[in-house]
Amino acid sequence: MANFIAQHCGPEVTIVEVAPWTLFFDGSSCGTGSGIGIILISPQGASYEFSLPIEASATNNQAEYRAIWNGIQLLREIKADAVEIFGDSILIINQLTGGCECRDDILRVYYEQCLQLLKEFKSMIIEHIPKDYNEDANKLDQHASGYRPICSAMALELMADD
């Protein structure tokens, strides 16, 4: 397709860039349970949010891996070619980008599954972001874990009126 456009539109059109999907992920574990938060943003800017409880016995790092794994699975299912992945877990990001080894036997299973799935994308960026830039995914995982319920704007207004 790119070659056809370049051949028929003149020399000024030679590069066609693939617009990436964006994934923000977070996982949390607390005394009431564990959950994951995923936000997918399409190349056109549409946002899709997911808040899912997972097994209550998961550690925080296991929840983080479950979040990124589920997010990557969703991207794969929608046949995304290019992805940008952002999370606030330094450990998970460093392991997946080769900055450090994954030595934990349980985490290694998630790590290897994620690496296998990531090979399917034509273009990929994985970056660590500060927790402040991942607040929306954090709210979703905290809701799923039972740590903090999500309050809608309407519920906040009703509480302010009381």
More confident residue, 79 or 151: 79
d(CA 141, CA 148): 9
CA-to-CA dists, residue 141 to 39, 119, 149, angstroms? 11, 26, 10
Q: pLDDT tens-digit profile of 102-127? A: 999 999 999 999 999 999 999 999 99
Q: pLDDT tens-digit profile of 79-101? A: 999 999 999 999 999 999 999 99
Q: Which two tokens stand for residue 102?
A: 């994954």
Question: What pLDDT sits at residue 32?
Answer: 85
CB 120 within 8 A of CB 85: no
Burial string for 32-45 (b: 16+ CB within 10 Å, else e) reads ebbbbbbbbbeeee
Q: Which CATH number fits domain 19-153: 3.30.420.10, 3.40.50.620, 3.40.50.1000, 2.60.120.620?
A: 3.30.420.10
More confident residue, 1 or 28: 28
DSSP 8-state symbol, 146: T
pTM of the model: 0.81
Counting residues of the chain whose pLDDT is more than 90, the rounded percentage is 72
Question: What pLDDT sits at residue 111?
Answer: 97
Mean pLDDT score of the chain:
87
